[in-house]
Structure 1
Amino acid sequence: MRVSVRRFAAAVAGAFMALAVTGPVAAAEGDEVWSWGRNQYGQLGNGTLNAAGEPVPGPVSLPSGTTVTAVSGGYGFSIALTADGEVLAWGYNDEGQLGDGTYTRTTEPVSVDLPDGVTITAISVGDDHTLALTSEGTVLAWGYNEWGQLGDGSTSDRNTPVLVDLPAGTVVKSISAGSGHSLALTSTGEVLAWGDNDFGQLGDGTTTQRETPVEVTLPAGTTVTEIAGGGDHSLALTATGDVLAWGYNAEGQLGDGTTTRRTTPVTTHIPPGVTVTAIAAASGFISFALTSTGELLAWGDNAYGQLGDGTTTRRTEPIMVHLPAGASVVQVAAGDDHVIALTSGGRIFAWGYNRYGQLGDGSTTNRSEPVEVEQPEGSTIVAIGSGSYHGLAIARAPSTTTTLTAEPGKARTGEAVTFTAEVDCPSGNPTGTVVFTADGDAIGSAALQDGKATLTVTGLPEGRHEIVAAYQGNADCPASTSETVVVTITACDVDPDETPSPDETPSPGETPPPGPAGPPSCRDFLAVTGPDTGLIARTGLVVTLTGALVLLAVVASRRRA
């Protein structure tokens, strides 16, 4: 078991523990997870180990077909929530923090051993433990439990999830894990806390460790809307936009203008006129607040530039992070002395400690102002997370959308039908070929011009046909297939038993005369226009040859007569 250093780390600058924290972000789903930074224990999830770290993002080896909605990390391990309500974990596991029933480290994701029938809706990761909120409003926890941070009434580590012993009737709506303590916000607006309390981070007016949840002593009349657990401090956002803080404060991380620890909540000094919409706290003795204008406030320790204000000066009250012009932050995640922020434009910025490349800018240079993370080309970042010395991001792979239309949707045999495929590719310029199929068989292809490909056919046989357009893709735009479009072909308006009159009967080798004005007749030649006519060309040829043989037979019969 790894020896805990968090208790004595609280007495020196730059704690060794880490906590991934995020502000609320719009529902995000991605089919990729990217990771960067330290990889001593496999926390990057790419199947390798590299203690020196990876300074640019690379892909996590997710199980095929996985869609991820949230990511977070702790000391040497990572956690991901899937769209199915399952949880994946990888990396360090000496205290059971992967929740898979073992103490075996893994360099690729494994499934957390959740109880049968349980659906997880949110995750939060501390230093060596994880919290998971269920769809029923209960809380599961696993991993390290020295201070009772799992909330099950014990101090025993757990390598599979156990239920937090909530007060009877409690429904939890959000969770947040500190380094060695845990927080829960209830449906009635109360805040519960449990685990380590050496510095008053449970907010109950004591410094007594708790193995089951106790209520935080909030100011009278306070309604809390959001919570955030830090290293040894806690934050809460109220319905009136105030930020409350309590616990350890040696670096000013409570933001009340002092360095005095607090065992009950005090008000953070938010600048006048600023509206806070989300909060975050980290174990590196720092705190954050997102504003309604997309700006980011920070306060606390700044030894490595982790406040992002261009200095290394500690701040006991909030200051503005020096974001690039035009950047609007929607999510923030912090590890041990480094910070990652996601903007509304899908760009990632990072600053602070960078020994292991956790800023993702290709270097190991500390930064006191935000620098841009080197993002995977073509992928769209939708959410972020952080571990102690590594970063995480959920991304959507480059994609295209192919849309198919048919005009007309109902036609008679021999009547022309035009198919138009439009390809949208946000990551590049769609070029190349679209292949059209009818009932699974190719009927032709067409080259894209300005994102459109058009094919006209006049030889679809009578009946209902399912048409699909398949874009073949190029280097920047992956292949995609349209939804099925149904085209119905009905019999032409000429009596199929009609026998041509003698004056209409062509001589051998003569082309049959055209039908009357209006829709094509059954006697018209079935044709296809457009490249690669395939099936329809062959169908038209067979019909034409058959018609010619029948015609010759009729002529020969009349001559014999």
Structure 2
Amino acid sequence: MSAAHASMPAPRLHGGELAYDALRLGFFPWQRERRLAKERERVNIARFSSRVLAAGTFHSLALRREGGIACWGRNDEDQAPPDGIDGDFVAVAAGVKHSLALRGDGRFASWGRNNHGQAPPDGVDGDFVAIAAGGEHSLSLRSNGGIACWGYNNHGQAPPAGVDGDFIAIAAGYLHSLALRRDGGVTCWGYNGSGQAPPDGADGDFVAIAAGDLHSLALRRDGGVTCWGFNAFGQAPPDGVDGDFVAIAGGGSANG
């Protein structure tokens, strides 16, 4: 070390500087790690909750611990058989009058109304990781990030060729569909009469999505909820909803 460097006096830190330095070295990293842990927890809860419970227009589904499914509610088209469904399932989804269940091996089973091919009795084989049921259409997320679609497609909500992309979650409304991109934005397609499926999608740092009949929701990483679409009853306030939320769901109307 040179004499010049050796003769330099040590910097003098005042009380405020010392306090800030202590925070920088100790509290700030801990606070950041705590925030990141909370965000990871939010992502995990949001994705888990969307898989184990599902509500159709007049029926409900619940995934049992052993992999079977309990069903209750309206059953006029066998969408909610009272004895439930046995199997090795890992996720459920409910449409207006049809039901879906994802098997552990990537295939999905379907039952209920099938007037537009939304619930083929033999199910669908594939390497799927998530499912969503709309009014009369169905979506499945492939392991490669693309989306397969079945059922009613009068507004482009279920294109037979599917939707390519790098998606990590899906949601289906009555006549529209949503997909969460890996970059945190949302891609939308289908009916947009109330602004529920803007063609340009929605940019943001989202971790989960949900679709009602005519509105859409997205859970932000900070715990707040962004909303768009039909808001006649305050179900989709344009300014969103602030809070420390970990899961979201979109309701529908009694149109079944």
TM-score range relative to shorter protein:
0.7 to 0.9
Unaligned runs of 5+ in 1: 1-22, 30-68, 101-109, 153-161, 205-213, 257-265, 310-318, 338-387, 390-561
Counterpart contact for 2:183–2:205, Cα < 8 Å: no
Normalised by the size of structure 2, how large is the TM-score?
0.76
Provide the C-alpha distance between the structure 2 equivalents of 1:225 and 1:197, rounded to a whole number of angstroms.
Answer: 22
CA 112–124 in structure 1, closer or farther in 2 if over 3 Å, else same: same
Give the one of 100, 106, 118 matched to 1:131.
100
Is 1:321 matched with 2:240?
yes
Provide the C-alpha distance between the structure 1 equivalents of 2:130 and 2:48, rounded to a whole number of angstroms.
Answer: 17
How many residues matched?
212
Higher helix share: 2
Give the one of 84, 89, 101 matched to 1:112.
84
Shift of 1:333: 1.3
Provide the C-alpha distance between the structure 2 equivalents of 1:24 and 1:92, rounded to a whole number of angstroms.
Answer: 31
Residue identity opposite 1:73 in structure 2: A
Give the one of 195, 209, 217 matched to 2:151.
195
- Counting aligned pairs with the same residue, the percent is 33
2:124 is matched with which residue? 165
1:306 match: secondary structure = coil
Shift of 1:77: 1.6
Counterpart contact for 1:181–1:197, Cα < 8 Å: yes
Give the one of 149, 161, 186 matched to 2:118.
149
Is 1:281 matched with 2:224?
no
Counterpart contact for 1:85–1:120, Cα < 8 Å: yes
1:86 is matched with which residue? 68
Counterpart contact for 1:242–1:267, Cα < 8 Å: no
Counterpart contact for 2:52–2:90, Cα < 8 Å: no
Residue identity opposite 1:176 in structure 2: A
Provide the C-alpha distance between the structure 1 equivalents of 2:70 and 2:58, rounded to a whole number of angstroms.
Answer: 15
Provide the C-alpha distance between the structure 2 equivalents of 1:217 and 1:322, rounded to a whole number of angstroms.
Answer: 30
Shift of 1:27: 8.1
1:296 is matched with which residue? 225
Normalised by the size of structure 1, how large is the TM-score?
0.36
Higher strand share: 1
User: Once the two structures are superposed, what CA deviation does each residue of 1:42-80 show, in whole Å capped at 9, x if it has no partner?
Assistant: xxxxxxxxxxxxxxxxxxxxxxxxxxx822221222111
Counterpart contact for 1:89–1:111, Cα < 8 Å: yes
Shift of 1:24: 6.2
Provide the C-alpha distance between the structure 2 equivalents of 1:242 and 1:113, rounded to a whole number of angstroms.
Answer: 35
- Runs (4+) of structure 1 exceeding 3 A deviation are 26-29
Residue identity opposite 1:112 in structure 2: G
Provide the C-alpha distance between the structure 1 equivalents of 2:166 and 2:209, rounded to a whole number of angstroms.
Answer: 15
Structure (1 or 2) with the larger CA radius of gyration: 1
Shift of 1:190: 1.5
Alignment of 1:265-414 (within 5 A): 266-270=199-203, 274-283=204-213, 285-307=214-236, 309=237, 319-323=238-242, 327-336=243-252
Shift of 1:189: 1.4
Provide the C-alpha distance between the structure 2 equivalents of 1:241 and 1:195, rounded to a whole number of angstroms.
Answer: 27
1:25 match: secondary structure = helix
Counterpart contact for 1:73–1:79, Cα < 8 Å: yes
Counterpart contact for 1:296–1:320, Cα < 8 Å: no
User: Once the two structures are superposed, what CA deviation does each residue of 1:86-140 show, in whole Å capped at 9, x if it has no partner?
Assistant: 1111121111111x3xxxxxxxxx33243xxx30100010011110001111100
Unaligned runs of 5+ in 2: 1-42
User: Once the two structures are superposed, what CA deviation does each residue of 1:346-384 show, in whole Å capped at 9, x if it has no partner?
Assistant: xxxxxxxxxxxxxxxxxxxxxxxxxxxxxxxxxxxxxxx
Alignment of 1:469-484 (within 5 A): none
Residue identity opposite 1:130 in structure 2: S
Residue identity opposite 1:224 in structure 2: F
User: Once the two structures are superposed, what CA deviation does each residue of 1:522-556 show, in whole Å capped at 9, x if it has no partner?
Assistant: xxxxxxxxxxxxxxxxxxxxxxxxxxxxxxxxxxx
User: Once the two structures are superposed, what CA deviation does each residue of 1:400-444 show, in whole Å capped at 9, x if it has no partner?
Assistant: xxxxxxxxxxxxxxxxxxxxxxxxxxxxxxxxxxxxxxxxxxxxx
Provide the C-alpha distance between the structure 2 equivalents of 1:228 and 1:26, rounded to a whole number of angstroms.
Answer: 13
Counterpart contact for 1:235–1:243, Cα < 8 Å: yes
Provide the C-alpha distance between the structure 2 equivalents of 1:163 and 1:141, rounded to a whole number of angstroms.
Answer: 7
